[in-house]
């Protein structure tokens, strides 16, 4: 293989002057301004335009190479891509960051300042969307032919403000000032039918044919975002669909009456891609959401088929050898009946032949076991929006039920459980079952999660197809999550083990030899301290609160959800505060607890927990009695660009979900890679992180998956803990008073209520004592500077497994069967 070493980049004919000239040229010719008038925003745009010239050159070469080599490609369907900012990443991946930094400096401009001008592309909620972003980075880096397909949301995840301690949601209009990275492709527009009715006809041979007469048609306009692989050779495309009105309205359908409610049928086409649903780990069940899912899946399938036909004509024989589609969760699962519709109704293939193609095209990644996150659509809703798809889903199910009857004759319970259609007062289409039946591979995202997918979520499917269910543990790109976000640590690593670790993360192992080296420890911890000083300034900027960089920086950054248990962290903070009030000499190293989290706007308790964190912060941060031992910081508007500032400065990584609830987690990987020590439960990828770093270099506590299940099965009573643990009782009782909410007694009572009368479904009280003791161990460990440094270095050194490059190679090997295709 030709290697993508950064050394080869330096041989490219770029130099500072070429870059400088390109930036100035764009300042003049694209932006109509000049060096004296330009503000930071103009400089940022001109720099992006200069970079984009190089990027587009590689896009062209990549597409030519893929075309000439007639390659098989993976098509990654995802309703979310949480990309963050692109400038710094693209520059690093092209190997042009330092040259550009110098070029700008000579123009009197700080690259760090102008990078702050870029809006995050926040087209995702959290881990699932960020995984898609890391995966397309790795696919390009590893020279695999791949396209990401998703939605071009006009408004990404809402911008969070905090007012009087409470979350306020504001629209995220990320494209108001333009997006220099995207290219509009009106020549590849697609038309997508919706609503209407299905006509049954007979062909010349008397065979039944179905024709869908849609009630309206919307247009899909593609925007392409180049995805630059590290080394700057392969540049793949992320194609995002924007909806547009087509002007088409079927008056026959309207006049036929009965089928159609004119008001409802007239799709407000442009609203389809207006806004990202802000729910993480819950399904919305809204009509517009199903339309979004169908819209981008159908546009993408048409795009794939158009490209396939250009090379292969109407012959479908090579389809499954050229195309594999990965479904990122069930959000795009409607693509399964859509492909069946195209093959059966349009291409006139026999059902069996169409099904064979379908089930060799799709693979499905399961991301959750939480019942509230498993997608189900009312049959009545699908009937209205996608009448032909509903018929196809019923036929898929009818044929599958015959297979189930063969395996478990007369077992109606089994049929009920495996049916795509859930009976009940409102019949539902179960997208999880449809995805498993319609795919050739199904994977979970960490070992423990995949084993639960096999044992508890889909045990019967696992019996029917013992080789279909598998595991691919998640990963993160070490380019964005170490080289780009933590340049000082990256350079220290370069100096000690060479510069190719971003492509071969296992090489970080070589740092093991330095873990006890005093000089290296000093350098490593000095960088951590410097990063903490930088974050201290950012905290002051964002919250007007002063914190001490010598304190322990204890970080919990992730979506706000009961299963992630930010409230367990909060209870422990309250317990420490309680201890300090009872005993001002209580020994603890000063600690800054840093939170970043958005709550779904409709998730009341999650918003109450944000309010709780902010009110406890208000009280604790301003209480002179505790002598600055505890600071609590809630950073507003947590997003990728904020994560990139917090992660390099973290000492402690909070990964404290209820065992069995966090499918994998990826924040855990980012933090450990940057030398933070994890305090965590045996959940998701924490288990594999513990295996890699060694149990002596991580603080594991709490109930296991089996113990949580036993509590659920044998009856769990949170009052037992409330009654027997006096400290726990005291801090929970605070929540009924106005101690943290002056003048508003009980404003935080909903948190206590959920943990007691509410049954504490996430076992917060059951884990409190173990968590509290593990936190005491963290405190003690931090007191021993040498040991802490060694542990932190070993975390960085042993994270090789969690590169998304490894995850992608596993997908290629187990599922996608792709060949690398080199470029230039």
| Binding site residues, ligand PLP, CB under 6 A | 126-127, 130, 558-559, 639-640, 643, 665-667, 670
Active site residue 175: no
Could you tell me the smallest distance in angstroms from the CB atom of residue 126 to ligand PLP? 4
Cα 76 to Cα 154, 297, 484, distances in angstroms: 21, 11, 25
Could you tell me the smallest distance in angstroms from the CB atom of residue 678 to ligand PLP? 11
Please give the Cα distance from 519 to 527 (Å, whole number).
13
Active site residue 75: no
Measured from the CB atom, is 190 or 566 closer to ligand PLP? 566
Catalytic residue among 670, 752, 790, 798: 670
Closest alpha carbon to 123 in 189, 172, 182: 172
Could you tell me the smallest distance in angstroms from the CB atom of residue 642 to ligand PLP? 7
Measured from the CB atom, is 143 or 662 closer to ligand PLP? 662
Catalytic residue among 85, 239, 376, 559: 559
Burial class (CB in 10 A: 0-12, 13-18, 19+), 684: buried
Please give the Cα distance from 511 to 526 (Å, whole number).
16
Closest alpha carbon to 445 in 365, 373, 326, 563: 365
Residue partners of 464: CB distance under 8 A and separation at least 6 = 403, 404, 407
Measured from the CB atom, is 95 or 636 closer to ligand PLP? 636
Measured from the CB atom, is 27 or 685 closer to ligand PLP? 685
Catalytic residue among 564, 639, 661, 763: 564
Could you tell me the smallest distance in angstroms from the CB atom of residue 211 to ligand PLP? 45
Phi, psi of 206, deg, nearest 5: 80, 10
CB-CB contact of 770 with 654 (8 Å): no
Q: Which residues pair with 670 in a beta bridge?
A: none
Could you tell me the smallest distance in angstroms from the CB atom of residue 552 to ligand PLP? 19
Measured from the CB atom, is 521 or 657 closer to ligand PLP? 657
Measured from the CB atom, is 639 or 763 closer to ligand PLP? 639
Measured from the CB atom, is 54 or 653 closer to ligand PLP? 653
Span between the terminal Cα atoms of the chain, in Å: 13
Could you tell me the smallest distance in angstroms from the CB atom of residue 163 to ligand PLP? 22
Please give the Cα distance from 822 to 824 (Å, whole number).
7
Sign of CA dihedral 395, 399, 405, 407: negative
CB-CB contact of 484 with 89 (8 Å): yes
Residue number closest to ligand PLP, CB atom:
667
Could you tell me the smallest distance in angstroms from the CB atom of residue 370 to ligand PLP? 13
Cα 311 to Cα 52, 67, 68, 343, 799, distances in angstroms: 29, 9, 11, 18, 42
Structure tokens given for 697: 């270099």
Active site residue 564: yes
E strand or H helix at 469: strand 469-471
Please give the Cα distance from 724 to 736 (Å, whole number).
19
Cα 405 to Cα 429, 542, 783, distances in angstroms: 20, 61, 64
Measured from the CB atom, is 174 or 197 closer to ligand PLP? 174
Could you tell me the smallest distance in angstroms from the CB atom of residue 116 to ligand PLP? 17
Residue whose pair of structure tokens reads 């400088």 in the numeric block: 20
Residue whose pair of structure tokens reads 């005093």 in the numeric block: 518
Please give the Cα distance from 305 to 474 (Å, whole number).
29
Measured from the CB atom, is 559 or 565 closer to ligand PLP? 559
Provide the 10 A C-beta neighbour count for residue 519.
8
Could you tell me the smallest distance in angstroms from the CB atom of residue 137 to ligand PLP? 13
* CA gyration radius, the chain: 27
E strand or H helix at 592: strand 591-596
Catalytic residue among 85, 367, 454, 591: 367
Closest alpha carbon to 734 in 720, 717, 748: 748
Could you tell me the smallest distance in angstroms from the CB atom of residue 664 to ligand PLP? 7
Active site residue 558: yes
Three-class SS state of 84? strand
Active site residue 286: no
Active site residue 130: no
Measured from the CB atom, is 157 or 616 closer to ligand PLP? 157
Closest alpha carbon to 613 in 592, 634, 638: 634
What is the DSSP-derived secondary structure letter of residue 476?
B
Could you tell me the smallest distance in angstroms from the CB atom of residue 136 to ligand PLP? 15
Catalytic residue among 479, 558, 661, 752: 558
What is the DSSP-derived secondary structure letter of residue 632?
E
E strand or H helix at 236: strand 235-249
Measured from the CB atom, is 130 or 661 closer to ligand PLP? 130
CB-CB contact of 634 with 640 (8 Å): no
Could you write out the DSSP letters of every residue in 147-172?
EEEEE--SB-SPEEEEETTEEEEE--
Closest alpha carbon to 62 in 223, 205, 193, 227: 227
Sign of CA dihedral 424, 426, 431, 434: positive
Cα 364 to Cα 25, 143, 427, 663, distances in angstroms: 46, 23, 24, 15
Measured from the CB atom, is 580 or 633 closer to ligand PLP? 633
Measured from the CB atom, is 620 or 643 closer to ligand PLP? 643
Could you tell me the smallest distance in angstroms from the CB atom of residue 345 to ligand PLP? 40
CB-CB contact of 767 with 755 (8 Å): no
Could you tell me the smallest distance in angstroms from the CB atom of residue 813 to ligand PLP? 24
Catalytic residue among 477, 666, 681, 796: 666
Sign of CA dihedral 350, 352, 355, 356: negative
Active-site residues, by number, are 367, 558-559, 564, 666, 670
């Amino acid at each position: 293989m030709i290697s993508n070493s950064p050394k080869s980049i330096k041989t490219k004919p770029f130099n500072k002057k070429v870059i400088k000239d390109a930036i100035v040229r764009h300042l003049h010719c694209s932006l109509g301004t000049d060096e004296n008038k330009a503000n930071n925003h103009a400089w940022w745009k001109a720099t992006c335009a200069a970079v984009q010239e190089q990027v587009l050159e590689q896009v062209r070469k990549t597409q030519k190479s893929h075309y000439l080599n007639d390659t098989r490609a993976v098509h990654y369907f995802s309703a979310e891509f949480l990309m963050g900012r692109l400038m710094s990443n693209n520059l690093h991946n092209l190997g042009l960051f330092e040259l550009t930094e110098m070029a700008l400096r000579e123009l009197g401009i700080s690259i760090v300042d102008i990078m702050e001008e870029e809006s995050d592309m926040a087209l995702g909620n959290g881990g699932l969307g960020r995984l898609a972003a890391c995966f397309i980075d790795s696919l390009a880096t590893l020279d695999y032919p791949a396209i990401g397909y998703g939605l071009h949301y006009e408004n990404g995840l809402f911008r969070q403000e905090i007012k009087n301690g409470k979350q306020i949601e504001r629209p995220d209009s990320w494209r108001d000032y333009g997006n220099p990275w995207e290219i509009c492709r009106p020549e590849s527009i697609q038309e997508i039918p919706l609503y209407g009715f299905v006509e049954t006809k007979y062909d010349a041979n008397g065979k039944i044919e179905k024709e869908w007469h849609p009630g309206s048609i919307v247009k899909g306009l593609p925007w392409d975002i180049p995805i630059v692989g590290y080394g700057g050779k392969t540049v793949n495309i992320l194609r995002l669909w924007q909806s547009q009105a087509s002007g088409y309205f079927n008056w026959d359908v309207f006049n036929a009456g009965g089928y159609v409610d004119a008001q409802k049928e007239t799709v407000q086409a442009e609203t389809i891609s207006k806004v990202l649903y802000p729910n993480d780990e819950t399904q919305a069940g809204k009509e517009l959401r199903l339309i979004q899912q169908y819209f981008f899946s159908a546009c993408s399938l048409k795009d794939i088929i158009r490209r396939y036909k250009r090379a292969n004509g109407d012959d479908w024989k090579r389809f499954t050898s050229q195309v594999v589609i990965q479904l990122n969760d069930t959000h795009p699962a409607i693509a399964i009946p859509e492909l069946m519709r195209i093959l059966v109704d349009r291409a006139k293939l026999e059902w069996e032949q169409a099904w064979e193609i379908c089930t060799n095209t799709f693979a499905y990644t399961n991301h959750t076991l939480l019942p509230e996150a498993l997608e189900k659509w009312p049959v009545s809703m699908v009937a209205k929006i996608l009448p032909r798809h509903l018929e196809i889903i019923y036929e898929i199910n009818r044929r599958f039920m015959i297979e189930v009857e063969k395996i478990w004759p007369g077992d109606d319970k089994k049929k009920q459980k495996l049916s795509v259609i859930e009976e009940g007062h409102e019949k539902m289409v179960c997208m999880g079952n449809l995805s498993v039946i319609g795919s050739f591979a199904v994977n979970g995202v960490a070992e423990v999660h995949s084993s639960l997918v096999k044992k508890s979520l889909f045990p019967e499917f696992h019996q029917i197809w013992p080789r279909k269910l598998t595991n691919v543990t998640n990963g993160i790109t070490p380019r964005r999550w170490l080289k780009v976000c933590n340049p000082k640590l990256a350079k220290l690593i370069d100096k000690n083990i060479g510069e190719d670790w971003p492509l071969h993360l296992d090489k970080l192992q070589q740092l093991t030899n330095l873990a006890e080296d005093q000089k290296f420890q000093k350098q490593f911890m000095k960088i951590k301290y410097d990063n903490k000083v930088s974050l201290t300034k950012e905290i002051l900027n964002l919250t007007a609160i002063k914190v001490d960089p010598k304190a322990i920086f204890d970080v919990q950054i992730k979506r706000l959800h009961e299963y992630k248990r930010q409230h367990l962290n909060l209870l422990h903070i309250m317990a420490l505060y309680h201890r300090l009030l009872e005993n001002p000499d209580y020994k603890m190293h000063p600690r800054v607890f840093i939170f970043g989290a958005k709550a779904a706007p409709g998730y009341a308790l999650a918003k109450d927990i944000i309010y709780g964190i902010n009110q406890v912060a208000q009280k604790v941060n301003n209480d002179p009695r505790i002598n600055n031992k505890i600071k609590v910081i809630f950073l507003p508007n947590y997003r990728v660009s904020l994560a990139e500032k917090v992660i390099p400065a973290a000492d402690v990584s909070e990964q404290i979900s209820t065992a069995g609830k966090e499918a994998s987690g990826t924040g855990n990987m980012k933090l450990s890679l940057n030398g933070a020590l994890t305090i965590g439960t045996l959940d998701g990828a924490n288990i594999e992180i513990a295996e890699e770093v060694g149990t002596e270099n991580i603080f594991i506590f709490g109930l296991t998956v089996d113990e949580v299940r036993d509590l659920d099965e044998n009856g769990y009573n949170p009052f037992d803990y409330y009654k027997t643990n006096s400290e726990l009782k005291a801090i929970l009782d605070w929540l009924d008073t106005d101690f943290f909410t002056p003048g508003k007694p009980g404003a935080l009572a909903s948190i206590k209520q959920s943990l007691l009368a509410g049954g504490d479904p996430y076992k917060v009280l059951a884990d409190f004592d173990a968590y509290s003791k593990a936190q005491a161990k963290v405190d003690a460990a931090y007191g021993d500077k040498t040991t802490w440094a060694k542990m932190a270095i070993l975390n960085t050194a042993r994270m090789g497994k969690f590169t998304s490059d490894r995850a992608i190679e596993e997908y290629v090997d187990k599922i996608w069967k792709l060949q690398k295709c080199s470029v230039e």
